[in-house]
Structure 1
Amino acid sequence: MAQLDNASILQLRGQLTALQARCIKIDLQLTQTENRCFVFEAHQFSKRSLTLIGYFNQVEKTLNSLQNSIDNKRQELLIKIECEQFVNQFQLLMQLVQSIEKGKAALLYKSYSSPKEKIFQQLKKQSEYEHRLLTMIAEQEELLSSGEECNRSYTKEKIEALKIRFHKCNTFTQKLEFQLEEINDE
């Protein structure tokens, strides 16, 4: 690994300052909301941001941490990890800025409240609920057939009620699946 010294860090700070100016300029032009935010490898950052300057601040924080590790002569492995994190964050933010400047910003957005995504979330919940109902039905039927001491008529009523709930749940799941197919066909 090439040695990082104060001159290298100073050079990186110069590049960061230039990137900061670009981020501020873009942030003034773009509007972000909770339901419409940048989509890129945001897992490299500690938290999501609705502004480029928010991501920039995280890159700057990583560089400050790297500088601190170098100044305090920390272990080489720690310095290497922080250096890699800085490089990854810097590259990602730079790519994002360049894409927006080239007019490709639409590709970087994702609407988290799209109808299709909402239906997927509902289908997931329905699937979990159906699975729980089937488990409950199986448990009650096993109790009934095991011959253990139980109120047979009550257990049969419970099984019927669970089957009715499962049928209603399954009907709703099918409606969601049809809605999803309609969205895919559009």
Structure 2
Amino acid sequence: MDSTAIIEELVRHMEWADAVVFLAILGKPQAEEDEVLLKRLRHIHLVQKVFFDVWLNQPINPHITDSFNAHELSGFAKSLHREIQEFQNTLSADDLDRVVHLPWSKQVSDNLGFEIANPSLGQTLLQVTAHSSYHRGQVSSRLRELGIDPPMTDFIAWVWARKPSPVWPINS
């Protein structure tokens, strides 16, 4: 499997898993109205959007998800995932090697105490999928705390299910 195929699978899984999470949340007031849960979901989709904007050299709005409720966030995520898929579908192996300059590099360098390396496009795509998966685990923990059985969103579960397309909530 080549690098573009791996990235494609990770991006497809990310959308599927995000859709599954929203299906578990919407229609359950204890989840829809939980600010801890909403904060985590807003963060996941903000990071996805910010990196997407960096990939396309577009302006970044670090507050774009701040006021979204669960339904608005689901619609935002669904639309963003379509755009990420379209972008990812245009990439070649050479594109994945392109250096990406992150606007927040100086701040990160200052915080870490060393100058950070500029990642490649492929590395940032991997970062977005890994970051989303990490925080999706936190969302699952919070759902459990709210008395909701979280859905299985592991990559291998998606593979076991024969890599289904995402099914978004109807109002997304």
Q: Which bin holds the TM-score, normalised by the shorter protein?
A: 0.3 to 0.5
Structure having the higher Rg: 1
Work out which structure has the larger RCO, using CA pairs closer than 8 Å and 6 or more positions apart in sequence.
2
TM-score, normalised to structure 2, is 0.41
Superposition TM-score, scaled by structure 1 size:
0.38
